[in-house]
Amino acid sequence: MGHTSSCSHVLKSFFLSSSPSLRPQGLVGEKYGSIRVPGEVESAEFEMILDAAVEAGLDTHILEEWYCRDENSVPPAYYLKPKAQMLKNYQNSMESSSAAKTKNDKAWRNVSEEIKRIFRTAVLQLQEKGTMKSADANKFLCSALEDELDFALGKQTPAFLRKCVCYIRKISNFDRFAKLPEMVRYMDIVVSADRVMRNQEAYERLLKVRDEFIPTVVAASNLRVYSSVTHCDMKLGYSQEVESHYVEGLCKQFYEDMVDIIQATVQQNFDTETDPLYDEILQHLSLCKTHAALYKYKSETLDYVQEYLMPSKGSRMSPLVVYGGPCTGKTLLLSEVAKQHVSIFVQQSMRGRSTVHLLANACSLDHLCVC
């Protein structure tokens, strides 16, 4: 996996997430992450939060500007407007200079941080007053990490969880290197009285997910969980060498687990003309086309992935990771790739007569991970 800056951040990895053979893979590290910018909020909740923000003396202009009410939704809800609609020349900047893209990225970071601040302040106030229940408040206060793990593992059957894998990575003596600028990529940092230290609130929420939520799921199922400890270099801290060593080991373990899950859960023989798995491939193709229709711009990343899928003859393919924060276009990117290359996959797959052969081709053709 191309884990670099996002290696320690628990992010999603959904491979054919509705497939009977490949299920969500979770990566849990030392970073909990910040709260999310809500993409959709029921109107009653949104208006209650808006009132609480006004009562707290906050300027709510940015919420009123970036969210629009949809009366056709049941119940009515407020939706976050697309960045392309709200940021000047956003779409053009994705196709032009990196300077323009950097400018829009900075503008969005400022907007998103202000939206998060307003939601956090208002929701905490409502929770303190008892107006909003803790369970309702948590969906506005949790990070993408907690939200996605709860979605993937929280309300699933034991049969589903047997096809899931979770990788937990702890880093020893991490706090000692918190002052290093690059550590912000791997842990939640706060600055207090000119001291750089770990964000204890975020760390406590991470521990609840890592040391309470996941073990509870394991106790009720046969969820596969791998836990490892990475030791920092005593002088350099979390160095590139340490990172590369971990990533290489994770890639190998992940690939072995995927092959093992396929072999353990799929029937050895079947009639290819009647097996539902082939129908499912077509369904995924349809879904890829739907996602890819939203992918309007070209990028170097798309060209890079396409080049990766067409290696020189006789070369060995290694796993490839597409990483990034929530809502940065990872799913759309790989949907576009899948749409363009699915014919190759189907042609290769139809040569075999077993589901294992079919999914083995999937592993050999698509060493792709979304983080």
Q: Which two tokens stand for residue 363?
A: 């592993």
- Please give the residue that has the higher pLDDT: either 318 or 62: 62
Has residue 328 got a pLDDT over 50? Answer: yes
Say what the pLDDT of residue 314 is.
Answer: 60
Give the DSSP H/E element, type plus range, for residue 241. helix 240-265
Say what the pLDDT of residue 296 is.
Answer: 61
At residue 85 the predicted structure's pLDDT band, cuts being 50, 70 and 90, is: confident
- Please give the residue that has the higher pLDDT: either 124 or 87: 124
- Please give the residue that has the higher pLDDT: either 252 or 337: 252
Cβ contact 92:100 at 8 Å:
yes
Closest to 21 measured CA to CA, from 362, 369, 371, 341: 362
Closest to 206 measured CA to CA, from 39, 8, 369: 8
What span, in angstroms and rounded, lies between the C-alpha atoms of 339 and 117? Answer: 39
pLDDT in tens, 220-233: 888 889 998 888 77
Lowest mean pLDDT of 27-41, 153-167, 345-359, name the range. 345-359
Say what the pLDDT of residue 357 is.
Answer: 53
Closest to 187 measured CA to CA, from 178, 326, 28, 12: 178
Neighbours of 271 (CB within 10 A): 7
